[in-house]
Amino acid sequence: MTQRTIEKYGMFDPADRVLVAVSGGKDSLALWDVLLRLGYQAEGMYISLGIDEDLGYSDSSLQMCRQFVSGQHPGATLHVVDVEGEYGQSISTLARTKQRGRGKPCSVCGLVKRHIMNRFAREGDFAAIATGHNLDDEVAVLMQNTLHWQAGYLARQAPVLEEREGLARKVKPFVRIYEREAAAYALVRGIEYIYDECPYAKGSTTNFYKELLNQLELRSPGAKQQFYLHFLQARDKGAVSFAVEEAAELHPCRQCGQPTTAGDLCAFCRLWE
Ligand code: Q46
Ligand code: ZN
């Protein structure tokens, strides 16, 4: 199924180098495993965020990635970027400072992850960044975007996001794989992964939609696949279209050179300033 998805959406070829974003969870490690077994040049990239240092969440997820390499694919390359080591503060500390101790660190975390992944993929000349988003993830996001009629997000939600002006290509080879299938695959392959989600994912809106969709799937098996695939087909055929504002122009950030739509400094550099 993964091979078919890669071919159907023209994600990458065996000659391409692909950077797999790994978190130590089942989806990303299963994806990395599948890509390596299919013969793709897939290198892993782990970003050590420093989340909940006291509980050691980030440390244990890195350990899972290292264990995966030594146990399953000793020749595979795992790149590790330590946010605190590289920039001086962990995500938890940075978010606490920026948000004065209020709210979850997710927006800061997302921004930092996107920036680091993109820079690493561009500088390393990777053909694409592959993420372990599965069908359940995609359907939950689709439902959320549909309920709020987020035209911009609906227009862009796709298995492949093409490269543009300094932004690396992004692909999701697991979009047809159910979450439980990824978990079953990891189990069968003896891949150890971190069971707990990031402590900040608990109670998230996405998880709420996932629960709703699980109930729907119980009553109507196949409903998730249909919702997602029919949406992609309808949009590709032009049966539904979304009036989207022209994408804002990108220009290089004065400090880091990464593309930004903001002023002369990108959001990442402003965050650290
Ligand atoms: S954004 Fe938020 Fe995730 Fe970062 S802080 Fe955790 S839940 S890891 S996908
Ligand atoms: Zn910048």
Q: How far is the CA of 91 from the centre of ligand 1 (A)?
A: 10
Q: How far is the CA of 22 from the centre of ligand 1 (A)?
A: 13
Ligand 1 site, CB within 6 A: 51, 104-106, 109-110, 198, 200-201
What protein residues have CB closer than 5 angstroms to ion ligand 2?
A: 253, 255-256, 266, 269
Q: Residue with the nearest Cα to atom 5 of ligand 1? A: 106
pTM: 0.93
Give the start-to-end residue ranges of the domains of the chain. 2-242
Q: How far is the CA of 9 from the centre of ligand 1 (A)?
A: 28
Distance CA 90, CA 48 (A): 9
Q: What is the pLDDT of residues 103-112, one digit of tens each?
A: 678 888 899 9
Q: What is the pLDDT of residues 8-55, one digit of tens each?
A: 999 999 999 999 999 999 999 999 999 999 999 999 999 998 876 555
Q: How far is the CA of 235 from the centre of ligand 1 (A)?
A: 30
- DSSP readout, the chain? -HHHHHHHTT---TTSEEEEE--SSHHHHHHHHHHHHTT-EEEEEEEE---STTTTHHHHHHHHHHHHHHHH-TT--EEEEEHHHHHSS-HHHHHHHHTTT-S-SHHHHHHHHHHHHHHHHHHTT-SEEE----HHHHHHHHHHHHHTT-HHHHHH-SSEE--BTTBPPEE-TTTTS-HHHHHHHHHHTT-----SPPGGGTT-HHHHHHHHHHHHHHHSTTHHHHHHHHHHHHHHHTSS----PPPPPPEE-TTT--EESSSSS-HHHHHH-
Phi-psi bin for 68: left (phi > 0), alpha (psi -120 to 50), beta? alpha
Distance CA 227, CA 263 (A): 39
Ligand located closest to 199 CA: 1
pLDDT of residue 24: 95
Ligand located closest to 262 CA: 2
Local confidence pLDDT in tens for the 273 residues of the chain: 999 999 999 999 999 999 999 999 999 999 999 999 999 999 999 999 887 655 566 678 999 999 999 999 999 999 999 998 988 888 888 877 776 666 678 888 899 999 999 999 999 999 999 999 999 999 999 999 999 999 889 999 999 999 988 899 999 999 999 999 999 999 999 999 998 888 888 878 899 999 999 999 999 999 999 999 999 999 989 888 887 766 678 899 999 999 998 789 999 999 888
CATH classification for the domain delimited by 2-242, as one of 3.90.1150.10, 3.40.50.620, 3.30.360.10, 3.40.50.9100: 3.40.50.620
In DSSP terms, 64 is beta-bridged to none
Q: How far is the CA of 39 from the centre of ligand 1 (A)?
A: 30
| Atom of ligand 1 minimally distant from the CA of 201 | 7
Mutation pick for ligand 1 pocket among 106, 108, 116, 208 (CB with most ligand atoms within 8 Å)? 106
